[in-house]
Amino acid sequence: MGQARGFLSRVLTLVAKDIRIEWRTRDSVVTMVVFGLIVLLTFGFAFDMAVVNVGAIAPGVLWAAIAFSSTLGLSRSFSMEKDRGAIEGLLLLPVDRSTIFLAKVAANLMYMGVAEVVLVPALVVLFNLSAAHLGSLLLVVLLGSVGFAGVGTLFSAIAIHSRAREVLLPVLLLPVTTPVVLACVKVTNSIFAGFSLDEVAHWLVLLVAFDVIFLALSALLFDYVIED
C-alpha cells in the first residue's frame, strides 16, 4: 500500500508540473480547442442540415475533430523539455520511466478532456442533436481518449528525436489508432440513433482491450524509445 501511494504521489507531482507549465503558456489546450472547432465548423457548413441525416455523419465529424486536435496536443508532450534541453533532467529523476510515462499520459488526457468538454457540446448545438444520452457518449469519449493518449504519448517520445516530429507523429499515430477511432464512431453512431450500449458491447470490449493492451505495451517500451 505504501509503495502504491508513493508511486501515485510521484505521478501526481509530475502531472502537476506539466499542468503548471501548460497554465502559463496555454499552447496545447488552446491549439486543440481552436483546431477542433474549426473542423466542426467546416463540416457543419459543408452539409445541408435540412437534407443530410446529421445523426449518421455527426459521429465521424466528432471523432475527426478529436483525433486531429489531439494529435496536435500530443505532438507537444515532450517538445518543451526537448527544445529547452530539459529532457536529460527529466530522465535523471530518481523514478521509474513508467512513472514519467504515466504522468505524461495523465497530463495529455487532461488536455484532451478540456478540449472535448468544448467540442462535444459544440457538436450537439451545431448539428442540433439530442443530449439525452450524453452520459453514454462521455463514457465512449473517455475510453477513446485513454487509448489515443497512451499510444500518442509513446509515439511523441519517438518523434522528439526527429527534426520532422510534427510530421512523423501523425504518420505513426493515426494508423495505429484506427481501431479506436472506428470503434468510437460505431458506438457514438448507435448512441445518437437511440440504441443502448448493450447492442454495441463488442465495440466497447474492443475499446477496453485496446486501452489495456496498448497502454501496458507503451509503458514497457517507453524506457527504450525515450533514449537518444
**Which pLDDT score, from 0 to 100, does residue 199 have?**
81
pLDDT digits (tens, 9 = 90+) for 20-55: 877 887 778 888 999 999 999 888 777 765 546 777
Q: Give the CA angle between residues 184, 32, 126 to the nearest 5°.
A: 65
**Which pLDDT score, from 0 to 100, does residue 112 have?**
92
**Which pLDDT score, from 0 to 100, does residue 85 have?**
62
**Which pLDDT score, from 0 to 100, does residue 86 have?**
63
DSSP class of 130: -
What are the grid coordinates assigned to 126, written together?
A: 451545431
How many angstroms separate the Cα of 100 from the Cα of each of 47, 126, 147, 148, 180? Answer: 43, 38, 17, 17, 24
**Which pLDDT score, from 0 to 100, does residue 84 have?**
64
Kindly give, in sequence order, each residue whose CB lies less than 8 Å from that of residue 211, ignoring residues fewer than 6 positions away: 143, 146, 147, 150
Which amino acid is present at 210?
F
How many angstroms separate the Cα of 53 from the Cα of each of 24, 50, 119, 140? Answer: 42, 8, 20, 22
Displacement of CA 52 from its chain's centroid (Å): 29
Which residue range(s) make up the domain with 164? 2-225
Kindly give, in sequence order, each residue whose CB lies less than 8 Å from that of residue 67, ignoring residues fewer than 6 positions away: 148, 174, 177, 181
Is the torsion defined by CA of 113, 121, 37, 178 positive or negative? positive
pLDDT under 50: residue ranges of the chain = 51
**Which pLDDT score, from 0 to 100, does residue 163 have?**
72
Residue that is written with C-alpha cell 481501431 in the block = 179
**Which pLDDT score, from 0 to 100, does residue 49 have?**
58
Residue that is written with C-alpha cell 486501452 in the block = 211
| pTM attached to this predicted model | 0.88
Domain count, the chain: 1
